[in-house]
Amino acid sequence: MPQTDYRPLLDPYEFTNGITLRNRVVMAPMTNFSSNEDGTVSGPELEYYIRRSKGAGMVVTACVYVSRGGKGFHGEFGADRDELIPSLRQLASAIKGEGAKAVLQIFHGGRQCPPELLPDGQTVSASDVPSELPSGGHGPVPRTLTDEEIQVIIADFGAATRRAIEAGFDGVEIHGANGYLLQQFFSPHSNRREDRWGGSLEKRLSFPLAVLREVKRVVNEYASSSFIVGYRFSPEEPETPGITMAETFALIDALKEEGLDYLHVSLMELWSLPRRGTEDERPRIEQIVDRVGGTVPVIGVGSLYKPEDALKSLDTGISLVALGRPLLIDPDYVQKLAEGRPGDIATELDTTAQAELVIPDPLWGALVNTPGWLPLKGQ
């Protein structure tokens, strides 16, 4: 049997701003619940990143909150104040020390934040619409943000970007996916406003675009021309009303027009099919790549456990392949490919190998106790 050629995954990739990645594999952003209570990065978390930065060309960190009222997870690290810059610098240095480019994902959780993590216990969003829970029922009712508060959060995204620059990161990724605040403003489900921040599709785009403009303004002021700005989005929502593929295309058009270094599509399954808003029956990722039209690199992600799946993902037209859960299971995934040992790549989590995999206790507990998160060896 002829050997599969994995070189397309291992070829260097150059962004138009001149930054070159050593290969086309990106470590996807993954929450790890393992930061210190004060928002600093913990020692075990640094070791976890070092272990996974030896192979990938670029590492996108777990999301950091840009505002104290936007903290979305227990054990999440922050970028909401200057005292955290030394902690951020440690993380950037740890990743870059292994040869990967380091990108900080910046975020505000909006209505998805656990109320107990917020200073006043009150979630906020575009409107006072609670989230629909997968189990049925609803999340807490958020308070509608005022115009003034929206301006402050936009500035917070800019300030977090400045801190990322001062800490030595190679870029930031704006988190506009997975139902968090930017998506809450874009979604007709969560945004029922009738001011400049909502109503029409164009007005629902106002907040995500304002955040992108502010981030780019800060980058132009404080960073070198090679600093990366990416944007992550979810292509559709299950809710009615909710974001459709047609609205996703409008978002892509608007982001392209503003200019950025990449678009990162958040998918659980890379080849998943569209729900509504398009007559085209091809996988969403192929339609998105077509809509982008080669103007901006697209990062694809979604259950690419086997190396042949990661290789095949490039056939969709994406420029870079993000691996999240596969790098939890096997941190040496990329090195094994480079050494011609694809058959040695683990595709199920060895539940006896926490120390060898360098996974902090809070994350390990979540992985082994949450059914369906990862394929577990022997189960």
The full DSSP string for 82-151 is GGGHHHHHHHHHHHHTTT-EEEEEEE--GGGS-GGGSTTS--EESSSPPPBPTTSSB-PPPEEPPHHHHH
Q: Is the pLDDT of residue 234 over 70?
A: yes
How far is 339 from 351, CA to CA, in rounded Å? 25
Predicted pLDDT of residue 21? 98
Find residue 314's DSSP bridge partners.
Answer: none
**Average pLDDT score over the chain:** 97
Find residue 228's DSSP bridge partners.
Answer: 171
* The residue to which tokens 């001011």 are assigned: 195
CATH of 7-369, one of 3.30.870.10, 3.30.365.10, 3.20.20.70, 3.40.190.10: 3.20.20.70
Q: Long-range contacts made by residues 140-145, C-beta under 8 angstroms, separation at least 24? A: 140/111, 140/115, 142/110, 142/111, 144/193
* Residue 235 CB contacts under 8 Å (≥ 6 apart), including other chains: 243, 245, 248, 265, 266, 267, 274, 284, 288
Predicted pLDDT of residue 235? 96
For residues 255-284, average pLDDT: 96
DSSP classification of residue 31? -
CB 83 within 8 A of CB 38: no
CB 111 within 8 A of CB 139: yes
* The residue to which tokens 């047609």 are assigned: 246
Predicted pLDDT of residue 180? 98
CB 349 within 8 A of CB 72: no
CA 251 to chain centre: 17
pTM of the entire predicted model:
0.98
- The secondary structure element, H or E, covering residue 323 is strand 320-323
Q: Is the pLDDT of residue 302 over 60?
A: yes
CB 134 within 8 A of CB 115: no
- Work out the percent of the chain whose per-residue pLDDT is above 90: 96
pLDDT, tens digit, for every residue of 334-364?
Answer: 999 999 999 999 999 999 999 999 999 999 9
Q: Is the pLDDT of residue 2 over 70?
A: no
For residues 165-177, average pLDDT: 98
Predicted pLDDT of residue 31? 97
pLDDT, tens digit, for every residue of 362-374?
Answer: 999 999 999 999 9
CB 243 within 8 A of CB 187: yes
The question of whether 180 is a catalytic residue gets the answer yes
Predicted pLDDT of residue 108? 98
**Nearest residue to 88 (alpha-carbon basis) of 150, 140, 164:** 164
Q: Hey, where are the domains in the chain? A: 7-369
Predicted pLDDT of residue 225? 85
- Residue by residue, DSSP assigns 39-73 as SPPPHHHHHHHHHHTTT-SEEEEEEEESSGGG--S
- φ, ψ of residue 6 to 5 degrees: the values are -95, 10
Among candidate residues 48, 180, 262, 333, the one labeled active-site is: 180
- What six digits make up the tokens of 219? 């980058």
* The residue to which tokens 């998918």 are assigned: 267
How far is 172 from 73, CA to CA, in rounded Å? 19
CB 176 within 8 A of CB 231: yes
* The residue to which tokens 């599709």 are assigned: 201
Q: Is the pLDDT of residue 1 over 80?
A: no
- Work out the percent of the chain whose per-residue pLDDT is above 70: 99
- φ, ψ of residue 62 to 5 degrees: the values are -55, 155
CB 68 within 8 A of CB 80: yes
- φ, ψ of residue 3 to 5 degrees: the values are -75, 140
Q: Is the dihedral of CA 286, 291, 297, 301 positive or negative?
A: negative
Residue 293 — left, alpha, or beta (φ > 0 → left; ψ -120 to 50 → alpha)? left
